[in-house]
């Protein structure tokens, strides 16, 4: 229904405006801004491909199951950079502990202190969500270990989620 309404508005713009005005109106209505591109679901293997080691690939990091494009921070996350160990995986525990220990390069938050969990939430909100675009979610965030849907995952509660049925 919304698509039909947009099409009708674009046709109306074409018939009541000059060619340049119509094209601009159409571009405004049908060209979503980059922040509204569809998100995708990443398995661990898929996420690992975006670890900053390939020059022509973006660099992704997941924190709390949210996958961020950190390519603009290549000097921090790219090949040979100080935080490259975090790239290409869900590094939630590392972010919470401010650690690059290989044992901490995981999504697992079991055993973290209250202070570490607070630090995780602050870094998630004030660094990753504030600075980097969200490109998807880890499969672990949406699915249970057996592959069944996670009943606690609500698309409308996810950061940067504008369309409930993107999945």
Identify the three-state secondary structure at position 135: strand
Query: pLDDT category, 22, cuts 50, 70, 90?
Result: very low
Those residues with Cβ within 8 angstroms of residue 128's Cβ, 6 or more apart along the chain or in another chain: 61, 63, 66, 68
pLDDT at res. 123 = 95
User: Beta strands 66-69 and 60-63: pairing type?
Assistant: antiparallel
Q: What does the pLDDT look like over 98-149, one tens digit per residue?
A: 999 999 999 999 999 999 999 999 999 999 999 999 999 898 877 777 777 7
CATH number of the 41-142 domain: 3.10.120.10
| Both structure tokens of 88 | 């290409």
Of 82, 81, 88, 120, nearest in space to 105 by CA: 88
> Alpha carbon of 102 to those of 17, 36, 50, 84, 94: distances in Å?
60, 34, 18, 12, 9
Spans of all domains in the chain: 41-142
84/94 Cα distance (integer angstroms): 12
Q: Whole-model pTM?
A: 0.69
pLDDT more than 70, % of the chain: 69
- Mean pLDDT is lowest, of 5-9, 46-50, 114-118, 127-131, for 5-9
Nearest to 109 by CA among 50, 46, 62, 71: 62
The band of 157, judged by pLDDT with boundaries at 50, 70 and 90, is low
């Amino acid at each position: 229904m919304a698509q039909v309404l947009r099409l009708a508005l674009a046709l109306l713009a074409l018939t009541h405006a000059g060619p340049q005005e119509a094209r601009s109106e159409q571009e405004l209505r049908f060209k979503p801004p980059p922040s509204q591109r569809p998100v995708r679901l990443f398995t661990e293997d898929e996420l690992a491909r975006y670890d900053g080691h390939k020059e022509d690939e973006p660099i992704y990091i997941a924190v709390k199951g949210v996958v961020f494009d950190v390519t603009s921070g290549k000097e921090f996350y790219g090949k040979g950079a100080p935080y490259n160990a975090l790239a290409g995986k869900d590094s939630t525990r590392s972010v919470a502990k401010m650690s690059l220990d290989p044992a901490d390069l995981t999504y697992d938050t079991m055993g973290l202190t209250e202070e570490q969990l607070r630090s995780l939430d602050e870094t998630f909100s004030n660094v990753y969500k504030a600075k980097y675009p969200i490109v998807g979610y880890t499969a672990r965030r949406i699915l249970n270990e057996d592959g069944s849907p996670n009943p606690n995952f609500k698309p409308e509660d996810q950061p940067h989620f504008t369309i409930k049925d993107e999945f």
